[in-house]
């Protein structure tokens, strides 16, 4: 009943929100300007500065953003009112929320979460908004609301724990000690068992190609990082970047295997998930052979019934938390000790460059086709692929190759510039000469990242042109130098 | 925290309206939920052990022979993922009820 009502309310709100957007959209700039004027009147220098910056720099001037800010402002105002006059809070939300009836805490919490979602979705495209005063204020309030809700969740879990404890007590009376023994077995490995099982289940249900894509894009690497840190295993950072992209791929896969091998279940985990037939024997040789193939999990699809694994994975990958962690990961903040950088540029950036390079693509293709050359796929110790990878990654040969890669000396053929790149280069030069702001999208792994601006073009004889990019991150800006192949104009002109 | 159980807990966080929480608080709640789910899975497992198997189960679990433990668990719970799904969904539903 409650849920039905809520869902109706939300459907209605969405419609109203859309309508509101339709009617208000022509005034979007006026709104910002008005607010700026108001800020000036009030003398709120900080707000004035922020808003002026937004308007002037045109960074976040979309209609959606204006709408979002309006909703956020309304929410911020209503938040204070809600503490004393709950039933009236939604009057403040005119278009978005026209509910005139009683508004209870749950509606309010849901509203807070809905706007939070929009904030984070928008923040993915334009991280600057998270620095906006209204948004910051809103997020604080949203957190406060979520904390109140979390207290209620805690109490619920406490109640459920009590119930479970009663059941355990009952079972213990009937079968003294057994629950504790099993539990100890589970707990001895902490979450490892559950985690490893879940991990493998996910891998088993995910088509190999999709998994490899995830690994290549860094998503799985990121996920594994969190897992590894939970398991007190070395961060995958220490594996990266690899001598060759395919080795990075193997390393990521190896990390998965390593995790899978980290508890008592996992030595036989493939057997566990590999078949429902307990009589089936998977020999050590077969297992090793499978590992060498890059952990081909596709055959397990039949065994593990899995619902929306990709979806749930993507949910996490797309979640605010993940984005935050991933951002930290990209910025090298996750584990500075193990993330030592060969040069002052971001090592992960370099890895992404490798992952997106033609060389990588080729290697990746070969990898998928099982055509990896023996030398690269060879394991000095057939028991431990990680060991072998670490040896490679730490070797002088690797260091030399990576240095060369960074210096662009790996492949002479890549010095050439193709027609499309040349056209783009000319456009970039022209725009920069004219003093125009040149927004480009930057290829990070397999994804494109918007919001980068070209600050300079570097051309040296015998080398491919590179471009210097700038991106705003809050009050700071991030600078990178990338190869021309890594960018495209945000709005294509050729 | 990772993968299946964690992914699910994450989406539950959102369903529960807790996505705005800071990571530490989220982690606390997730840990509690994971613990609860674990206990409930073990209870399910216990339910699948017949009276005549109790001694054997005790002996295996106390033995330290990981291969045997694995084999025992695998036989008793070949549908681990389904059970995991069920328990997570049950916990989720119970938490959300009249929250």
Domain boundaries, chain A: 2-147, 192-406, 414-489
Q: Locate tokens 């996992």: which residue?
A: A266
ipTM: 0.89
Mean pLDDT of A190-201: 40
Round to whole Å and give the CA distance between A74 and A312: 32
Q: Do B25 and A150 touch (CB under 8 A)?
A: yes
Cα R_g (chain B), whole angstroms: 16
Q: Do B10 and A315 touch (CB under 8 A)?
A: yes
Any CB–CB contact under 8 A between A305 and chain B? yes
Angle at A491 between CA A487 and CA A494, to 5 degrees: 80
Contact A435, A413 (CB under 8 A): no
Q: Do A147 and B21 touch (CB under 8 A)?
A: yes
A23 burial class (0-12, 13-18, 19+ CB within 10 angstroms)? exposed
Contact B72, B53 (CB under 8 A): no
- Interval A303-359: pLDDT, tens: 233 333 333 333 333 334 434 433 443 343 333 333 333 333 333 333 333 333 344
Any CB–CB contact under 8 A between A149 and chain B? yes
Starting from the edge strand earliest in sequence, which strands make up the sheet with A466-473, in order?
A476-483, A466-473, A447-458, A439-444, A487-489
At residue A77, the pLDDT reads: 79
- B33 to chain A: closest CA residue: A157
- B96 to chain A: closest CA residue: A153
Round to whole Å and give the CA distance between A352 and A179: 47
Round to whole Å and give the CA distance between B21 and B26: 6
- Interval A43-70: pLDDT, tens: 444 444 444 444 444 444 567 788 888 8
> Does A491 have pLDDT greater than 80?
no
Which of chain B's residues have a Cβ under 8 Å away from the Cβ of A160?
36, 91, 94-95
- B57 to chain A: closest CA residue: A178
Which comes out higher in pLDDT, residue A230 or B95? B95
Round to whole Å and give the CA distance between A53 and A32: 11
At residue A137, the pLDDT reads: 92
Picking from A367, A359, A137, the residue whose alpha carbon sits closest to that of residue A244 is A359
Maximum separation of any 2 CA atoms in chain A, in Å: 84
Nearest chain A Cα distance for residue B67, angstroms: 8
Q: Do A146 and B17 touch (CB under 8 A)?
A: yes
Angle at A447 between CA A446 and CA A453, to 5 degrees: 125
> Does A251 have pLDDT greater than 60?
no
- Interval A456-478: pLDDT, tens: 888 777 777 888 887 766 556 67
At residue A97, the pLDDT reads: 43
For A197-222, give the DSSP string: HHHHHHHHHS-HHHHHHHHHHTHHHH
For residue B39, give both structure tokens.
Answer: 């206990």
Which of chain A's residues have a Cβ under 8 Å away from the Cβ of B49?
175, 178
Size (chain A), residues: 494
pTM for the structure as a whole: 0.41
Domain boundaries, chain B: 3-96
Q: Do A315 and B7 touch (CB under 8 A)?
A: yes
A15 burial class (0-12, 13-18, 19+ CB within 10 angstroms)? exposed
């Amino acid at each position: 009943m409650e849920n039905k009502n809520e869902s109706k309310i939300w459907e209605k709100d969405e419609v109203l929100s859309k309508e509101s957007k339709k009617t208000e959209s022509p005034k979007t700039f006026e709104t910002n300007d008005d607010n700026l004027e108001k800020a000036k009147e009030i003398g709120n220098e900080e707000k004035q500065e922020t808003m002026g910056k937004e308007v002037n720099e045109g960074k976040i001037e979309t209609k959606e953003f204006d709408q979002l800010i309006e909703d956020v402002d309304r929410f911020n105002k209503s938040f204070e009112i809600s503490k004393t006059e709950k039933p009236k809070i939604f009057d403040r939300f005119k278009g978005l929320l026209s509910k005139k009836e009683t508004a209870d805490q749950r509606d309010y919490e849901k509203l807070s979460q809905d706007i939070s979602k929009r904030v984070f979705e928008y923040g993915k495209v334009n991280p600057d908004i998270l620095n906006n005063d209204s948004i910051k204020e809103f997020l604080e309030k949203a957190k406060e609301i979520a904390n109140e809700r979390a207290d209620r969740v805690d109490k619920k879990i406490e109640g459920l724990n009590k119930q479970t404890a009663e059941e355990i007590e009952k079972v213990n009376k009937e079968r003294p000690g057994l629950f504790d023994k099993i539990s100890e077995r589970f707990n001895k490995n902490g979450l490892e068992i559950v985690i490893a099982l879940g991990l493998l289940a996910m891998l088993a249900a995910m088509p190999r190609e999709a998994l490899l894509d995830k690994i290549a894009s860094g998503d799985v690497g990121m996920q594994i990082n969190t897992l590894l840190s939970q398991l007190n295993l070395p961060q995958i950072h220490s594996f990266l970047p690899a001598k060759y992209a395919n080795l990075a791929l193997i390393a990521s896969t190896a990390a998965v295997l390593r995790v899978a091998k980290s508890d008592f279940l996992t030595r036989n985990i493939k057997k566990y998930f590999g078949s429902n037939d307990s009589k089936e024997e998977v020999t050590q040789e077969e297992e090793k052979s499978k590992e060498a193939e890059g952990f081909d999990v596709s055959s397990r699809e039949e065994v593990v019934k899995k619902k929306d694994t990709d979806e749930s994975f993507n949910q996490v990958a797309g979640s605010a938390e993940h984005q935050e962690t991933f951002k930290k990961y990209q910025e090298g903040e996750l584990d500075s000790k193990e993330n030592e950088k060969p040069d002052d540029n971001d090592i992960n950036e370099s890895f992404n460059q490798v992952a997106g390079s033609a060389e990588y693509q080729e290697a990746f293709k070969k990898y998928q086709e099982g055509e990896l050359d023996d030398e690269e796929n060879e394991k000095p110790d057939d028991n431990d692929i990680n060991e072998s990878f670490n040896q490679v990654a730490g070797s002088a040969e690797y260091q030399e190759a990576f240095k060369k890669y960074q210096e662009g000396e790996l492949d002479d053929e890549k010095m050439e510039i193709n027609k499309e790149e040349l056209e783009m280069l000319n456009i970039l030069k022209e725009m920069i000469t004219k003093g125009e702001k040149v927004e480009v999208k930057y290829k990070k792994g397999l994804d494109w990242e918007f919001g980068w601006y070209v600050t300079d073009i570097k051309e040296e004889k015998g080398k491919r042109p590179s471009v210097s990019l700038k991106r705003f991150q809050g009050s700071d800006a991030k600078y990178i130098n990338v190869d021309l192949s890594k960018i495209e104009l945000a709005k294509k002109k050729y | 925290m990772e993968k299946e159980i964690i992914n699910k807990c994450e989406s539950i966080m959102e369903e529960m309206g807790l996505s705005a929480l800071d990571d530490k608080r989220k982690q606390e709640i997730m840990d509690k939920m994971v613990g609860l789910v674990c206990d409930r899975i073990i209870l399910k497992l216990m339910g699948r052990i017949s009276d005549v198997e109790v001694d054997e189960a005790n002996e295996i679990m106390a033995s330290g022979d990981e291969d045997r433990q694995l084999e025992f668990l695998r036989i008793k719970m070949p549908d681990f993922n389904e059970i995991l799904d069920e328990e997570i969904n049950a916990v989720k539903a119970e938490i959300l009820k009249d929250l």
